[in-house]
Amino acid sequence: MVDIVTHAPRATLTAASKANRKPLVSATSESRPWRYLLLAISFAFLGVFLVLPLVLVFMEAFRKGVEPFLETITEPDTVSAIRLTLTVAVIAVPLNLVFGIAAAWAIAKYEFKGKAFLTTLIDLPFSVSPVISGLVYVLLFGSSSLLGPFLKSYGIEVLFAVPGIVLATIFVTFPFVARELIPLMQEQGTGDEEAAISLGASGWQAFWYVTLPNIRWGLLYGVLLCNARAFGEFGAVSVVSGHIRGQTNTMPLHVEILYNEYNAVGAFAVASLLAGLALVTLVLKTLLEIRYGDELAGSRGH
């Protein structure tokens, strides 16, 4: 059952050599007991830390049957939370998508000074706590700031309203698309675009017919990750939302409210929707990696 990944080409193993093959003892692998031990440790660790919580979400959601589950997710407050979360994602993801393409184009297609510094700045939101990502907008638009009262006098509410939630979500999902595209486009170089332009294509045509087909799977991959985070962001949104039920409550915030009201079944019902989305994301991501692995440069690890 447990085999070592050998680099010997499989075709060289004829039927005869397969039949009288001795148990594989290789100098570059662990002995069989060690292999089983390491596998057992990995399975136990991943089982306890990843599988159990995931299974528990769905078990708890349907613990009292389908009826309470449906009741929770069709309740007006839940429906409005789902609608708000969708709205926020629909605004935040395309904006970061356009930014990602622009940033990757500027960084990958040209040589200019300060490029490394710019790349570092783009990654900045990953090293900032989500709570701080929300806090900076409170400081910028709060009642004690310069901007907040000014905008309010024109009837524009940013904090404890939808614009604040959108801004906080954009902040935390900022680097996702750019990070996927920059290494990919750097690897692809500028040759294709230069050829297109020397053949008379305009800049837009070169982008649309040459670059975009080259990067589409990497782009989809980045959008997938960006979207998952946009749906699930909790800390940053929690700070700027004001937690007004039916108005500024996103799905993750609704999970918190239901949970704190000791409505475990309700909380896990909404949580199971988010977990379902996470599973779909993982499946799509894995399919992309299997099918278009070589077109997703540097895509592993975040």
Residues 177-216 that bind another protein (CB under 8 A): 189-191, 193-194, 197-198, 202-203, 206-207
For the CA atoms of the chain, what is the radius of gyration?
25
Q: Which amino acid is at 209?
A: Y
Restricted to residues 112-131, the positions that interact with another protein (CB under 8 A) are 112-114, 118, 121-122, 124-125, 127-131
C-beta closer to another protein: residue 22 or 300:
300
Q: Which of residues 4-33 bind another protein (CB under 8 A)?
A: 4-5, 7, 27-31
Q: Is 79 or 205 the residue whose CB approaches another protein more closely?
A: 205
Does 265 bind another protein (CB under 8 A)? Our answer is: no
> By CB under 8 A, is residue 278 in contact with another protein?
yes
Work out which of 73, 264, 292, 295 binds another protein, going by CB under 8 A: 264
**Site track 52-71 with another protein (rule: CB under 8 A), x = hit:** xxx-xx--x-----------
Residues 235-254 that bind another protein (CB under 8 A): 235, 238-239, 251-253
| Residue 126 vs 216, nearer CB to another protein | 126
Interface segment toward another protein; rule CB under 8 A; list 15-23, 72-80, 157-165, 294-302? 294-302
Asked if residue 269 lies in contact with residue 61, where contact means CB atoms within 8 angstroms, the answer is: yes
Nearer CB in complex with another protein: 7/22: 7
CA atoms of 234 and 219, how far apart (whole Å): 25
For another protein, which stretch binds (CB under 8 A), given 9-17, 72-80, 93-101, 212-220?
93-101
Count of positions on this chain that bind another protein (CB under 8 A)? 110
What is the DSSP code string of 209-244? IIIHHHHHHHHHHHHHHHHHHHHH--HHHHHHH---
d(CA 108, CA 227): 24
CB of 151 or CB of 264, closer to another protein: 264
Question: What is the CB-side half-sphere exposure of residue 248 using CA atoms within 13 A?
Answer: 19
Tell me which stretch binds another protein (CB under 8 A): 9-17, 150-158, 212-220, 262-270: 262-270
274 binds another protein (CB under 8 A): yes
How many other CB atoms are there within 10 angstroms of residue 76's CB atom?
Answer: 9
Residue 292 binds to another protein (criterion: CB under 8 A):
no
281: contact with another protein by CB under 8 A: yes
156 near another protein, rule: CB under 8 A: no
In three-state secondary structure terms, 160 is coil
The span from the CA of 112 to the CA of 105, in Å, is 12
Q: What is the DSSP string of 145-205?
A: SSHHHHHHHTT---TTSHHHHHHHHHHHHTHHHHHHHHHHHHHH-SHHHHHHHHTT--HHH
For residue 183, the minimal CB distance to another protein (Å) is 12
51: DSSP letter: I
Cα gap 147→167, rounded to integer Å: 15
**For the purposes of burial, counting CB atoms within 10 Å of the CB of 240, is it exposed (0-12), middle (13-18) or buried (19 or more)?**
buried
Phi, psi of 192 (to 5 degrees): -60, -45
225 scored as a contact of another protein (CB under 8 A): yes
Q: Is 109 in the site for another protein (CB under 8 A)?
A: yes
